[in-house]
Structure 1
């Protein structure tokens, strides 16, 4: 089976590629932005097919969909930093919304019928009152950041293209995931790096932290990508 992973060189994308390669049942194709960092996939690069594609470029997206004709698509390419979305809301909205729209339109125009997974986010829920805990899929979507708004729009676009055009789209809303290759701009990786540096006597035994009052759920990224794969496997 031909599997296309957009954003394959990212945190989750690289782990999803590893998952499928370990299964040994699929031919893996990846879409990456021109000149993007390939460090996360350097160890598997000779086992996957890579295509340079800016998801904001409709022609480029249609070109790779035409060439690959994937049977499954995992759309993971995105501007995925909440903090950055405040500094660059326009870039966040264009990348995440127009990028997904270009993918859907390419699938329609090429006239293929793949299963498509859209990676949403817990940021879609935004403001949650205590009475609503634990959060379920039925919770209201009240995003509180430009990133959250972009993911809600992706979510609703997926629903609309399913209802209007019959695209076989599965939407998930994963909470925070962590694990190997997580960027050090994120708390768990940053803390881990500081601990390692302290153990190696590279810094004073002080861990610098931010707001420790925040409460978050964390899942191992390897469990998350397995869940992504199973959502399409069990449709």
Structure 2
């Protein structure tokens, strides 16, 4: 039996690299899309088993031609501007890019006359301002986005549903809550803590960790569990449906910080950094993933403490490589 093929947009990103590694391990042929002249996948996946397509995802003709040539059984649409603070500084760029790129992918699928199963990566940010009596959050919860990024993800979510309702595309919409792991940019909180600790340990920075809102409590899952869920969604997700992904518990950012500080080889001072504060923030997020669990049996398998250890070791290795140059 021939291999199934997956087209992965955003393959050069953090989640895209982990997803590709997982898909290859499952025997799926992967074709990854990167911007022309963009970065090759940074995750240590066996690139010999991955075909890379360079194209402009804003160009409908290029996207349709790529999908027609590849004729994938699965499309994992991950490509997006995903950094919430950047959406505050460039709201138009975030909203236009995230919506238009997905529109090109969905239109390109129709133009290519193929009917793959399409997994759309949304975000828990779509829920926005969650009220305490709404925890844990179910898929039926009202959407109250509080950032331009969140607005763009709501639009992507609804666009996926519209193409299912209007064109019968098999779109499965996922709303993952916070996820992290080795390879994530240090502009995000968890790897940001880890990188500062790793650099302080070898004297590359002052023994100071700059932090944002430590009172926030977040539902955090290992990215490797999230990408496993994406593949299950491609195999078993019902067309037009939406599914939450998360751990079902919240951890305070103060406790996350304490994990990294407690493992530092040197004493550290914690300093509040106004630049790391968001104009609007949600106090607590907790995911109800029971709908997806009932469908697939999925639940997180990697303890979050192991995730944090892996993130710290990743940044220690990055710092060692930088100092060895």
In 1, Cα distance between equivalents of 2:8 and 2:221 = 21
Report how far residue 210 of structure 1 moved: 1.6
**Contact between 1:33 and 1:53, CA under 8 Å: does it hold in 2?**
yes
In 2, Cα distance between equivalents of 1:76 and 1:194 = 28
TM-score normalized by structure 2?
0.70
Report how far residue 42 of structure 1 moved: 5.9
Aligned to 1:16: 19
In 1, Cα distance between equivalents of 2:41 and 2:58 = 23
TM-score normalized by structure 1?
0.95
**Contact between 2:6 and 2:74, CA under 8 Å: does it hold in 1?**
yes
Report how far residue 144 of structure 1 moved: 0.8
Unaligned runs of 5+ in 2: 238-325
**Contact between 2:5 and 2:72, CA under 8 Å: does it hold in 1?**
yes
In 2, Cα distance between equivalents of 1:208 and 1:86 = 20
Structure 1 window deviating more from structure 2 (29-38 vs 160-169): it is 29-38
Among candidates 47, 56, 59, match of residue 58 of structure 2: 56
In 2, Cα distance between equivalents of 1:7 and 1:83 = 19
In 2, Cα distance between equivalents of 1:99 and 1:55 = 6
Aligned to 2:113: 111
Aligned to 1:230: 232
Aligned to 1:147: 149
Report how far residue 29 of structure 1 moved: 0.3
Aligned to 2:177: 175
* Cα gap change, 1:151 to 1:82, in 2 (>3 Å): same
**Contact between 2:17 and 2:45, CA under 8 Å: does it hold in 1?**
no
In 2, Cα distance between equivalents of 1:156 and 1:128 = 19
How many residues align? The count is 234
Structure 1 window deviating more from structure 2 (158-167 vs 34-43): it is 34-43
* Aligned residue runs from structure 1 range 171-210, under 5 A: 171-210=173-212
In 2, Cα distance between equivalents of 1:172 and 1:39 = 23
Report how far residue 43 of structure 1 moved: 4.6
Report how far residue 198 of structure 1 moved: 2.7
In 2, Cα distance between equivalents of 1:42 and 1:53 = 22
Report how far residue 206 of structure 1 moved: 2.6
Structure 1 window deviating more from structure 2 (170-179 vs 83-92): it is 83-92
Unaligned runs of 5+ in 1: none
1:81-129 CA-to-partner distances (Å, cap 9, x unmatched) read 1111111111111111111111111111111110000000011001111
Q: Which has the larger radius of gyration?
A: 2
In 1, Cα distance between equivalents of 2:139 and 2:56 = 31
